[in-house]
Amino acid sequence: MRGRIAFSLFGVLAIAGLALLWSFGCDDKPTEHLATEPTEPRDYAAYFCNNLHNEGNSYFAYHPLTNELDSFYLPFENRPVVSADGRSMYIRDNTRNVTAIVDLDSREIIGHLPYGYPIAASPDGEWLAVYDNGLHLLHSCAYREVFYDSSLAGGVFSRNSLRFYGAPKAGGVYRLDLSRPPFSVTRRSLPFGMVTDLAPSPDESRLYLYLQSRSWDHYFVVLDWDRDSLIFTHYFWPGFGSLEAALDGHYVFYTNAGTMMGSTPGAPWVMVYDARRNVAAPVITTVGILDSPFVQGALLDEMCVTPDGRWLVVLSAKSYPFVLTVDIERMAIAHYVKFPDEIFPFFEGLACQSGW
């Protein structure tokens, strides 16, 4: 999440690259290919990386419908952001402090953006949020910058792409209204904790938050946005997991991954909040599901929901060699892939495309 690159030879090349992107894409409506819901099930891919040196292929594409996994090499070790249409991927290039654009058909680098960290792509294909000494909002047409605020950090788009929710550097949460310029920011304070993950409800009346308070205390809380009050709180320990909301608004999923340090592990299941009833729902467990020697389950960490709302893809915590698919309708693990023993699992950055 980071400041602009000084004008240089690389800057000239970046500008030329953006001009090329403009010439090929700006006459098209960004949302045209996202307008129609698919009639047949599609095997949307979820992408992630192995953030560990000398581990061969660095990136993976997992297909939850068919339970197939393939790998490919890119010269990065950072978490990806997938475009709304699933055609490209944005990844930080550490060597240049910029964001690389990767074509997912050819899996080749096709351009760079002069910003440090990609954050999120809007579901309608209009916006890309990046971080570089503050939040920058780019329009998909030639990645033209339309908004910047140095006090804001990372976040997520609403499902209708009209708002962006995130965590200010000073604490609390914010909402950036994108419905009409000039874009406005509304802030909410929190009684405790630092936001590490969040998601709005489909109608945006609630904001689901994963909070860290002190070093090991974590909470899942539900913020009623209009009333500015917490209506549900769940404390757990040691935390360090993630949060994801179902697209139909019924459930919110969160994990208790723990860390590779310390003697207290997290939990081998996905915790579930029933938003319609405002209560905790039964967990989705890996205990008794996985092959030996993991009969006691695996710790779980990052998640993403496929854009058809059918699957919750779950990445195991570091040192556990699994990527799993949860059938959201059945609220149970449908299948999983175990990585070979020769691949040391240090996976992160699980990302699904957000649009059709």
Number of structural domains, the chain?
2
Radius of gyration of the chain, Cα coordinates, nearest whole angstrom: 20
Structure-token pair, residue 117 = 């960290």
What value does the mean pLDDT take over residues 327-332? Answer: 97
Residues 13 and 156 grouped into a single domain: yes
In this structure, are residues 355 and 124 in contact, taking their beta carbons and an 8 Å threshold? Answer: yes
Residues 258 and 197 grouped into a single domain: yes
Q: For residue 171, is it within any domain?
A: yes
Q: For residue 51, is it within any domain?
A: no
Residues 196 and 224 grouped into a single domain: yes
Residues 101 and 136 grouped into a single domain: yes
What value does the mean pLDDT take over residues 82-107? Answer: 96
pLDDT at 313 over 50: yes
Residues 241 and 103 grouped into a single domain: no
Q: What is the pLDDT of residue 26?
A: 59
Range of the domain at 170: 1-30+74-189
Residues 226 and 280 grouped into a single domain: yes
pLDDT at 209 over 90: yes
Structure-token pair, residue 186 = 């509304």
pLDDT at 240 over 50: yes
Give, in order, the Cα–Cα distances in Å from 341 to each of 313, 320, 336, 344: 21, 10, 16, 7
Q: What is the pLDDT of residue 33?
A: 44
Q: For residue 316, is it within any domain?
A: yes
Q: For residue 339, is it within any domain?
A: yes
Binned at pLDDT 50, 70 and 90, residue 260 comes out as confident
Residue percentage of the chain with pLDDT more than 70: 86
pLDDT, tens digit (0-9, with 9 covering 90-100), for 98-110? 999 999 999 999 9
Residues 144 and 216 grouped into a single domain: no
Q: Which of 139, 162, 189 is the last residue of a domain?
A: 189
Residues 182 and 235 grouped into a single domain: no
Residues 9 and 148 grouped into a single domain: yes
Q: For residue 163, is it within any domain?
A: yes
Residues 184 and 195 grouped into a single domain: no
Total-model pTM: 0.89
Q: For residue 306, is it within any domain?
A: yes
Which DSSP category does 23 fall into? H
Burial 163-186 (b: 16+ CB within 10 A, else e): bbbbbbeeeebbbbebeeeeeebe
In this structure, are residues 206 and 200 in contact, taking their beta carbons and an 8 Å threshold? Answer: yes
Residues 168 and 270 grouped into a single domain: no
Binned at pLDDT 50, 70 and 90, residue 58 comes out as confident
Residues 227 and 212 grouped into a single domain: yes
pLDDT at 17 over 50: no
Measured at the CA of 71, the angle between CA 97 and CA 290, to 5 degrees, comes to 115
CATH of the domain at 25: 2.130.10.10
Q: Which of 189, 208, 239 is the last residue of a domain?
A: 189
pLDDT, tens digit (0-9, with 9 covering 90-100), for 210-221? 999 988 899 999
Q: For residue 206, is it within any domain?
A: yes
Structure-token pair, residue 352 = 């699904």
Q: What is the pLDDT of residue 248?
A: 97
Q: Which of 128, 157, 189 is the last residue of a domain?
A: 189
pLDDT at 22 over 50: no
Give, in order, the Cα–Cα distances in Å from 345 to each of 121, 183, 338, 354: 27, 42, 10, 26
Q: For residue 4, is it within any domain?
A: yes
pLDDT at 3 over 90: no
